[in-house]
Amino acid sequence: MITIKSQREIEAMDRAGDFLASIHIGLRDMIKPGMDMWEVEEYVRKRCKEENVLPLQIGVDGHLMDYPYATCCGLNDEVAHAFPRHYLLKEGDLLKVDMVLSEPLDKSVLDVSKLDFNNIELMKKYTVDYTGGLADSCWAYAVGQVSQEVTDLMNVTKECLYVGIQQAQVGNRIGDIGAAIQEYAEKRGYGVVRDLVGHGVGPTMHEEPMVPHFGRAGRGLRLKEGMVLTIEPMINTGTWEIDTDLKTGWAHKTLDGGLSCQYEHQFVITKDGPRILTSQGEEGSY
């Protein structure tokens, strides 16, 4: 269902987006060589409990198993939906951290600190049906000093994100977003993942329309004021093709073993252009 959001709904998503952005800002200083990747998941869980926020990825339906964690942590050639796990980050690694969080909730309605995040069946009762303010954002982190290849990939991927967001104008079409991203990436020799796409957000995390990061300008749905979407390009150093982990059905990797990067913002389309709801306060130049 494609919905136009009310002012009240946008304000709730704004609160969720501010909280999610504060988590990414916190991770900036934590992620360094020698850190255990699992600490990323623990940090998000701790902040959620402290500030009464639901980690909405726990319990998302999957083909083989429901998603068990608050975060997706993709390392190097991992593309999306990789599980956080015990792994000591090393100098030169590229780590992508994606999550979907609620706004801080009223404790008298639900006390998140009392929930057992390891109990997926229980968590599903709160996460799957949640229709309040929510935010979805992925950010990429360089671990220590990274190679020029990683630096370039991170820069191009972030530029792809903003090139796409710039197209999210009233009257433009969905295809304008994908076409702009695809052209930007492919001109520079990168591959754009096609199997996974951006999406509408609200009332739940994955709503219509799909927002591909490739496509043809002037095609597809016309964009309207009040739509809330994500753009989340996954850009590869090599082929756009990916391979899925058949054991869990969740994690993907680049087919050729090349590196992959991702940034994701959630934004609302206004008559003055897109307004980013998950901003970390550094978008002034775009």
* 235 strand-pairing partners: 192, 261
Lookup: tokens for 253? 């990797």
Nearest distance from residue 136's CB to ligand MF3, in Å? 5
* Cβ-contact 248, 65 below 8 angstroms: yes
Instruction: For residues 146 and 156, give the distance between their C-alpha atoms in angstroms, rounded to a whole number.
Output: 15
Rounded (10°) angle between helices 38-51 and 7-30: 140
Lookup: tokens for 163? 């090139």
Lookup: tokens for 161? 């994100």
Rg (CA), the chain: 18
Nearest distance from residue 70's CB to ligand MF3, in Å? 9
Annotated binding site for a divalent metal cation: 98, 136, 199, 232, 264
For the beta carbon of residue 222, count every other beta carbon within 10 angstroms: 10
Mark the segment that binds Co ion (CB under 5 A) among 188-196, 235-243, 251-259, 263-271. 263-271
Of ligand MF3, Co ion, none, which one sits near residue 60, judging by CB under 5 to 8 A according to partner kind?
Answer: ligand MF3
> Among 9, 41, 78, 98, which residue interacts with Co ion (rule: CB under 5 A)?
98
Nearest distance from residue 57's CB to ligand MF3, in Å? 3
176: contact with Co ion by CB under 5 A: no
Nearest distance from residue 279's CB to ligand MF3, in Å? 16
136: contact with Co ion by CB under 5 A: yes
Of Co ion, ligand MF3, none, which one sits near residue 72, judging by CB under 5 to 8 A according to partner kind?
Answer: ligand MF3
Lookup: tokens for 229? 């979407």
Residues that bind ligand MF3 (CB under 6 A): 57, 60, 67, 72, 81, 98, 100, 136, 232, 264
Question: Which helix (H) or strand (E) is 270 found in, with range?
Answer: strand 265-270
Interface contacts to Co ion, rule CB under 5 A: 98, 136, 138, 230, 264
